[in-house]
A and B are shown apart, each in its own frame.
Chain A
Amino acid sequence: MLGLARLGLLGFGGVGPQAYHAFVTRSAWLSIDDFAEGYSLAQALPGANVVNLCAIMGDRWFGPVGAVAAVCAITVPPLVIVLVAAAAIAHVTRAPRFVAAESAIVAASAGLLFATAYRVFSTIVRRRALGLVIAGAVALAVGLHAVSMPVATLVGVAAGFGIDVFTRARP
């Protein structure tokens, strides 16, 4: 749980890439394959991705109590910090350099997301070409603001599921 609290305190600009580092690279709590599976499920269901992932893993390892503890560990400490920060800056104007650093952090967290997407993709062992086409279509449709994320998720998963089921070699 301390590991999760630490994760909550470190995840700037979204916690996905930090979660990968904490769960897979540093602690080996999960294999890269387990991470991709858990995160995929967490992202396809409604709610915050990493919070869902923590709920799923907490439940799997320690049951419902573990799930509640994991969700609290990942959300409460950073919430306290965010509220204290919000109260602190409510009445000051921020220096442009500080804002530029904030923007640069947001850009860098985009880079970390690219890297995590690459790792998730590297866990797809069969039908990679089809997977790449679906991933590209989803990225384009949502990235160009043509389709909302829930719609793209639904259509993308349904398409992949349908194609995989109906084109699988019959025994």
Chain B
Amino acid sequence: MNDESVLLQLAVRIAGLSLVAVGGGNALIPALHDEAVSTLHWVSEARFVEAVGLSQAAPGPNMLLIPLIAWQTAGVAGATVALVAFLLPSSTIAILGSRFLARHERSPLVAAFKWALRPVTGGLMVSSAVVLIETAARTWPEPAKFVPGLVTLLAVGVAVASVRSKLNPLVWLAAAALIGVLV
């Protein structure tokens, strides 16, 4: 394929992913894997796993995995195309949806809809956290019997500490990194 057709393919496929990406960046990983590795062969399995690790460990929203994969496929032009293709559809929908709800603020149906969103948000956050714990246990070098227990303990400890204090969350991430280096 020539460069332009790769960029076009990235734009079309990633805009499509943007429209089904409910639940945030991490929820998107399986669908992205299907497209990028299995179907369209943008990157190898090894590069994909490396990109997932990097996008988790690096700062910023986890959706940066998408421009990162596109960068591996087609350089800076690919990353730029991927970023715009992913952000434009979903951000437009978010803005229009938010304006619609603000306009009909007094409707009891809107109140019921807003009420219904919150428990689902909380539930999805918990399930994403569980997926992250699994990821941490899997990516720990030299997996040992104590690793699943250790990462769970780390997560629960950070949760309790974070609820009870107003410190910047980075404090807890840094403490965890230190534990990771020392163990």
Contacts of B23 in A (CB 8 A): 43, 49, 142, 149-150, 152-153
Is B9 positioned at the interface, with any CB of A under 8 Å from its CB? no
CA–CA, A69 to B5, complex, Å?
30
Contact with A156, one of B72, B120, B126, B179 (Cβ below 8 angstroms): B120
- Using C-beta atoms within 8 Å of the partner chain, give the interface range for chain A: 35 or more
Q: Is the CB of A142 within 8 A of B127?
A: yes
B71 and A156 within 8 A (CB):
no
**Within 8 Å of chain B (Cβ to Cβ): is A85?**
yes
Known: A12-B173, A156-B116. A51 touches B151 (CB 8 A): no
With A and B bound together, what is the CA distance between A131 and B53 in angstroms? 34
Q: Are B130's CB and A82's CB within 8 A? A: no
Tell me, in angstroms, the Cα distance from A103 to B90 when the chains sit together.
30
Known contacts A101-B177, A157-B117; A143/B61 CB under 8 A: no
Q: Are A48 and B181 in contact (CB under 8 A)?
A: no
Contact with B along A2-41 (1 / 0, CB 8 A): 0000001111111111100100011000000000111111
Say whether, besides A46-B22, A105-B57, A107-B154, A139 and B127 are in contact (CB < 8 Å): yes
- B129 interface neighbour in A83, A100, A113, A124, Cβ under 8 Å: A113
Q: Are B95 and A55 neighbours in the complex by a CB distance under 8 Å?
A: yes
Chain B: how many interface residues by the 8 Å CB criterion?
Answer: 100
A104 interface residue (CB < 8 Å to B):
yes
B59 and A10 within 8 A (CB): yes
A112 and B90: CB pair below 8 A?
Answer: no
Instruction: For B178, list chain A residues within 8 Å (CB).
Output: 101
Residue of A nearest to B25 (CB): A48
Cα–Cα distance between A73 and B99 once the two chains are bound (Å): 21
Are B163 and A47 in contact, CB atoms less than 8 angstroms apart?
no
Q: What A residues does B152 contact at CB under 8 A? A: 107
CB distance from B107 to the nearest CB of A (A): 11
A residues lining the B interface (CB < 8 Å): 8-18, 21, 25-26, 36-52, 55-56, 59-60, 64, 67, 71, 74-79, 81-83, 85-86, 89, 96-121, 123-124, 126-127, 130-132, 134-143, 148-150, 152-153, 156-161, 164-165, 168
